Amino acid sequence: MPKIRRPNLQLVHVSDIDVSTKFYTDIFGFDPFFITPRYVVFKIDGDADFAIWSGGDSPDPETPRFSEIGINLDSDDEVTSLYKEWSDREEVSFAQHLHTAVFGETFQIKDPDGHIIRVSSKD
């Protein structure tokens, strides 16, 4: 039987590693685990990592994004609370304001390169 392989790294291409490192450190609320001049890793949970990378071509801000970075909180109340907290922060740019979807309360923000980050409660 083949070994089961689970996704354990989400890698996002960014145009300015320093700006994006500060952004993700601020919204995640913790410091990166591994830092190089072009590659930064945040330890998320267990074996799961979230990384940003400025190597290769710079992302084109006009290119449509076909994926989302997800932050799943424990409840709709936590989603609403975080939305209110981030609404007061100048560096947070909303792509979609708080609303109720089929899976509960949700909103979206953009990182400095326009990547979409969806905040919602766990399924």
Cα-to-chain-centroid distance, residue 112: 11
Average pLDDT in the 20-45 region? 94
Evaluate whether 117 touches 71 at the Cβ level (below 8 Å). Answer: yes
Cα distances (angstroms) measured from residue 48 to each of 11, 38, 88, 89 = 11, 20, 30, 28
Q: What is the pTM of this model?
A: 0.79
Radius of gyration, alpha carbons of the chain: 15
Confidence (pLDDT) at 59 = 60
Average pLDDT in the 6-19 region? 87
Strands 39-45 and 34-35: antiparallel
Task: Identify the structural domains of the chain with CATH numbers, from first to last.
Answer: 1-55 (3.30.720.120), 68-123 (3.10.180.10)
